[in-house]
Structure 1
Amino acid sequence: MISLSPFRKLVIAASLVAAPAVSHAGIFISVGFAPPALPVYAQPICPGDGYLWTPGYWAYAPSGYYWVPGVWVQPPSVGVLWTPPYWGFAGGVYGFHEGYWGPHVGFYGGVNYGFGYGGSGFYGGRWDGGHFAYNTAVMHVGGGFRNVYVDRTVIVNNNNFNHASFNGGPNGVNARPTPQEAQFSHENHIAPTSMQQSHFQAAQQNRANFASANGGHPQNAAFQRPGMTQGAVAARGATPVVGGNRNGFGTANEVNTRQGNQQARVNQGIRSGQMTPGETRNVENRDASINRQANADRAANGGRLTGQERGQINQRQNNVSQSINNDKHNANNDAAAGARNGATPGQERGAARGQEQHDAPRGGGGEHGHK
């Protein structure tokens, strides 16, 4: 590894955290001191079939290490698995190895992230005939899932009591890639999805995520879905936030609140079967694009949105709201959901709308009375 001055390291770290690299084979950020220990937190329940867990980790910016909350996400395609990022000590510095999607879980430093990521491989579930089956011995998925099994033999009981978040170095995890993991490193890897990228960027913008502010105990240690407050959990030992914030990332404003409400509507659509995976992915990608626009506009205006910018974002959210409504109430989905529930398409449509009205935040707004 090339030795860099502390100032040079910070410049590289700042530029690459703001714009993550596409490649996932090398080390792009190096820091002269170790990341904090992994916080202890509970896993939120899985929001729907096909979602995969991506554990939280410490990332780095010029002002220090910050926590990227664990979150359930939809993979970019059926059959791929997530290899978490990790920090590795070599040449006197700690280098960051980015996470990626691939046909197998590769080496992630031997770090015990929990929830099926015990340090080597992944034992939280498996792909089975185009559907993901969850191992509820190590995954908290909640009720209503058909594709589940229990395998307690994979539960890892090791001596990693300090919850080290890095490989090598003083107090780090002592692990090397197995021959199989080395082979997996040469497979075709897929970059994090747009929703994951939005999640990374939002985490960096919340000062409460920085270890200097939370002492290694982030208030938002994990989320059920990117950008949502529902299902958020704090790390053990975290200090409650007085007043809180409405979107979980320190930007309490109606733009982000509405986006979180729309994601809640999507979540209900997944549970009811009214939204297909393709429809869900389309809406989530559009939401991620809106979030990137809002973040860029705020960065350019001292953390605020101008009236014109707010209007543009609101219009885009109106369009997404209309798409959610159309997706949840089209004839094909109503018929399919009705067949599963022993109802006519009309009855299913009415039941879904009633449930949506029950789940919708109070106060109106948006099209059809929804936010």
Structure 2
Amino acid sequence: MTSTAFKRTTLALGIALMAPLAAWSQISISVGIAPPPLPYYEQPPIPGDGYIWTPGYWAWDAASNDYVWVPGTWVLPPAVGLLWTPGYWGFINGSYGWHRGYWGPHVGYYGGINYGYGYVGNGYAGGRWDGGHFRYNSAVNNIPSGRVHNVYRQAVPQRESHAESFNGGESHYRSAPTASERRFEGGQHPNWTQEQTAHEHQAIGMPEQRMGNNHGQPPTAATPRPGGFGDPQVEHVRQAPEMHIQPVRNIPGNQRPEGNPGGGRPEGGRPEGGRPEGGHSPGQPGGHPAGGERGGGHEGDHH
């Protein structure tokens, strides 16, 4: 899709693409084995205007009876005005259920999991739509100078993150969806783009991406575009750096007026935002795990 064609796409088109599917909040698959921890990786540079970051995740492949890492990647949404709600695993009734990610005008519930790069456990602090254009927060995205023009910079308080990639059970992530988040996820949503679907299928077909072969360290952790496994800018798993976590404050535009704050309270009653054990975030993707500032991009607002 060209940039011009993308800009001409309207939210009305996105609504027209909505398939008469059951609510995406339903569990699409249930597994008796816990998903592996989230690998630690850097975000590849954005390819251009209009792309939205979608975090990587562990998918279940019934054919190989194993988890497979689907790399995080930049994706063009189905229509202007749509945002991505990441999928998540949730432990309930003795098994782990996969809640598939979806597109919509609002970011819904994704298990309180801190995926990084603006997805800090609730809402999205990586950017916003403004007059038909997506504006990027360069504090949490890898924005090379001059590549995109709708850029602003807003620091995002770092949140405590954990290795677990699921909500509930023995995980530190125990938040429940708010009433608003239930409404967001309970409706109909546009289909995934063809590029997204092909990206997942390609990852599942690669033996090296399977947990049984890579032991939780997939060779391709993130790609700059869907299906870009051979791209020179692919990102590999990295060692999590030592870091200090600042106390959490409300994030503008992402307050949770109802229910439990995203991320919940870790075991032992340590308040969210405290320094994780060992001084780093063991499972958090990205070198700036919970929204810490990144280099690159432009200061201030540009149109």
1:91 to 80, 93, 105: 93
The equivalent residue for 1:33 is 33
CA shift at 1:86, angstroms? 0.4
**Larger gyration radius, structure 1 or structure 2:** 1
- Name the amino acid aligned to 1:221: A
The equivalent residue for 1:150 is 153
Q: Deviations over 1:89-114 (max 9, x none)?
A: 00100000001100000000011110
Matching of residue 51 in structure 1 with residue 51 in structure 2: yes
The equivalent residue for 1:168 is 168
Counterparts of 1:69-88 in structure 2 under 5 Å?
69-88=71-90
The equivalent residue for 1:313 is none
* Pair 209,22 (structure 1): closer, same or farther in 2 beyond 3 Å: farther
CA shift at 1:142, angstroms? 1.4
Distance 1:171 1:181 in 2: 21
Q: Contact conserved, 2:60 with 2:66, CA < 8 A, in 1?
A: yes
Runs of at least 5 residues in structure 2 that lack an aligned partner in the other structure: 1-19, 240-303
* Pair 227,109 (structure 1): closer, same or farther in 2 beyond 3 Å: same
Distance 2:21 2:54 in 1: 18
Aligned residues, how many?
A: 215
CA shift at 1:186, angstroms? 3.5
Q: Contact conserved, 1:220 with 1:234, CA < 8 A, in 2?
A: yes
The equivalent residue for 1:284 is none
Distance 1:75 1:22 in 2: 19
Any idea what SS the aligned residue of 1:213 has?
helix
The equivalent residue for 2:198 is 198
CA shift at 1:170, angstroms? 1.1
Q: Contact conserved, 2:112 with 2:173, CA < 8 A, in 1?
A: yes
The equivalent residue for 1:357 is none
The equivalent residue for 1:177 is 177
Any idea what SS the aligned residue of 1:58 has?
strand
Q: Contact conserved, 1:217 with 1:236, CA < 8 A, in 2?
A: no
Q: Deviations over 1:309-351 (max 9, x none)?
A: xxxxxxxxxxxxxxxxxxxxxxxxxxxxxxxxxxxxxxxxxxx
CA shift at 1:233, angstroms? 0.6
The equivalent residue for 1:208 is 208
Q: Contact conserved, 2:25 with 2:186, CA < 8 A, in 1?
A: no
Matching of residue 129 in structure 1 with residue 121 in structure 2: no
TM-score, normalising length from structure 1?
0.56
Runs of at least 5 residues in structure 1 that lack an aligned partner in the other structure: 1-20, 238-371
- Name the amino acid aligned to 1:235: V
Matching of residue 113 in structure 1 with residue 115 in structure 2: yes
TM-score, normalising length from structure 2?
0.68
Q: Contact conserved, 1:224 with 1:230, CA < 8 A, in 2?
A: no
Q: Contact conserved, 2:195 with 2:227, CA < 8 A, in 1?
A: no
Any idea what SS the aligned residue of 1:27 has?
coil
Q: Contact conserved, 1:68 with 1:204, CA < 8 A, in 2?
A: yes
Distance 1:190 1:111 in 2: 23
Q: Contact conserved, 1:32 with 1:92, CA < 8 A, in 2?
A: yes
Distance 2:80 2:101 in 1: 18
Counterparts of 1:331-342 in structure 2 under 5 Å?
none
Q: Contact conserved, 1:165 with 1:172, CA < 8 A, in 2?
A: no
Identity of paired residues, percent? 50
Any idea what SS the aligned residue of 2:186 has?
coil
- Name the amino acid aligned to 2:113: V
Any idea what SS the aligned residue of 2:28 has?
strand
Q: Deviations over 1:259-310 (max 9, x none)?
A: xxxxxxxxxxxxxxxxxxxxxxxxxxxxxxxxxxxxxxxxxxxxxxxxxxxx
User: Looking at both structures, which has the greater relative contact order when contacts are Cα pairs under 8 Å and sequence separation is at least 6?
Assistant: 2
Any idea what SS the aligned residue of 1:200 has?
helix
Q: Deviations over 1:227-253 (max 9, x none)?
A: 22131010115xxxxxxxxxxxxxxxx
CA RMSD of aligned residues (A): 1.7
- Name the amino acid aligned to 2:86: P
Matching of residue 225 in structure 1 with residue 228 in structure 2: no
Distance 2:216 2:76 in 1: 28
Q: Contact conserved, 1:22 with 1:191, CA < 8 A, in 2?
A: no
Distance 2:25 2:182 in 1: 12
CA shift at 1:191, angstroms? 2.1
Higher-helix-fraction structure: 1
